[in-house]
Amino acid sequence: MVNSSNSDLKMKFFGFGLVQNRDPRVHENRITDERDLFKVWHLGIPDIADSSQWVLNITGLVEHPMRFSLADLQALPQTTVTAFHECAGSPLNPKVPQRRIGNVVWTGVKLADVLQKVNITSEAVYVISRGIDEGVYNNVHYSGYEKDLPLDKALDPNVLIALAINNEPITVERGGPVRLVVPGYYGTNSTKWLTDLIVSKARSSSAFTTKYYMDREMVDGELKESPVWGIHPNSIVVHPQNGQTIKPEECMIWGWAWAEAAVAEVEVSIDGGETWQKANVETRSNMEWQRFNFRWKPKSVGEFCIMTRATDTKGMNQPFTPRRNQVSRVMIFVEQCSDL
């Protein structure tokens, strides 16, 4: 164990950042290349020169508070989880679909293993995670990034204190050397630059759990608030691409679908949502996205709107109303053109 603290770290960039590879071929692969996976930060990226000095503290409603260095974490049993990773989109416009998504392999220590070592008390209901980044978001300065998880999710064996992505150490931009990964939950919950886990009986009061990433909706005249935790069913079409021109021949419409609860069904519509037909969907492996395909022969030339709608095993599906997981659409052209 080391006695140092992370407090002398400097911040490199300030303000919200997003890096996204827009290459439409990115999602042809089941496993997304790390360089093709989006990166998001709200406050800035810490300047971590020496990751051997990193420490992670586990405190709160625990019998034995503990501190782990990177070496301590590396010495514990490592677990690998392959999972989709999706950003919920901007908390300033939470209903706008972004579909920042990828499917990657994470390796690290199960959060459940570490929680077992510290012996959480019977009052525990949430696990709060804190990242060291600080800076300005939406004109307000924050001195840390903080999220929370219900205890049963925290104990899910897929939830990792992750040290590697796609078998490489996690880079600083991606939240390394130590970050949380919560498969099945929106990316916002996977705290990067993880310095603290605090077992608590109350939710975190941070802006990133109460002001942002809290969906608000009027239901029967009452305000309903729900934390942006579990990922709702969603899908993307990989082929054909939006704006593509294809010949009037049989083609395979295919893509990926995902949801915290596995995807049970994907439907495809070619007529703007009038009629729907079932696609073939593979069963889920681990927490990965699921490939669907649908054979289609255009009956005429012209412009077509392909829509896809995934339904999960709990019966939740993609709505038509504006939502981050709104029914997915691509526009394509079918043309009798010999030189395509």
Ligand X SMILES: Nc1nc2c(c(=O)[nH]1)N[C@H]1C(S)=C(S)[C@@H](COP(=O)(O)O)O[C@H]1N2
Task: Count Cβ atoms within 10 A of the Cβ of residue 208 and give its class: 0-12 exposed, 13-18 middle, 19 or more buried.
Answer: buried
* 189 lies in the binding site for Mo ion (CB under 5 A): no
Cα-based angle 274, 270, 89 (whole degrees, multiple of 5) = 90
* 191 lies in the binding site for ligand X (CB under 6 A): yes
Q: x/- contact string, 13-52, with Mo ion (CB under 5 A)?
A: ---------------------------x------------
- Give min distance, CB of 28 to ligand X, in A: 19
Interaction with Mo ion in 60-99: which residues (CB under 5 A)?
Answer: 87
* 153 lies in the binding site for ligand X (CB under 6 A): no
Q: What one-character-per-residue DSSP string does 47-93 give?
A: E-S-GGG-EEEEEESBSS-EEEEHHHHHHSPPEEEEEEEE----TTS
Phi, psi of 31 (to 5 degrees): -100, 125
* 40 lies in the binding site for ligand X (CB under 6 A): yes
The Cα 17–Cα 82 span in angstroms is 25
Q: What one-character-per-residue DSSP string does 205-228 give?
A: -SHHHHTSSEEEEEETTEEEEEES
* Closer to ligand X by Cβ: residue 190 or 308: 190
* 292 lies in the binding site for ligand X (CB under 6 A): no
Structure tokens at 301: 């030339």
Q: Which stretch binds ligand X (CB under 6 A): 190-198, 219-227, 312-320, 322-330?
A: 190-198
Return the residue of 27, 42, 309, 324 that touches ligand X, per CB under 6 A.
42
> DSSP 3-state assignment of 152?
helix
Residue number, nearest CB to Mo ion: 87
210 Cβ neighbours under 8 A, 6+ residues apart: 203, 204
Structure tokens at 190: 């996977």
* Closer to ligand X by Cβ: residue 134 or 335: 134
- Give min distance, CB of 67 to ligand X, in A: 19
Distance from the Cα of residue 144 to its chain's centroid: 20
- Give min distance, CB of 242 to ligand X, in A: 23
| Residue 233 contacts which entry, ligand X, Mo ion, none (Cβ below 5-8 A, type-dependent) | none
Q: Which stretch binds ligand X (CB under 6 A): 60-68, 182-190, 196-204, 309-317?
A: 182-190
Q: How many H-runs (helices) and E-runs (strands) does the chain carry?
A: 4, 27
- Give min distance, CB of 118 to ligand X, in A: 21
Q: Which stretch binds Mo ion (CB under 5 A): 127-135, 182-190, 221-229, 278-286?
A: 182-190
Site of interaction with ligand X (CB under 6 A):
37-43, 87, 131, 133, 145, 174-175, 187-188, 190-193
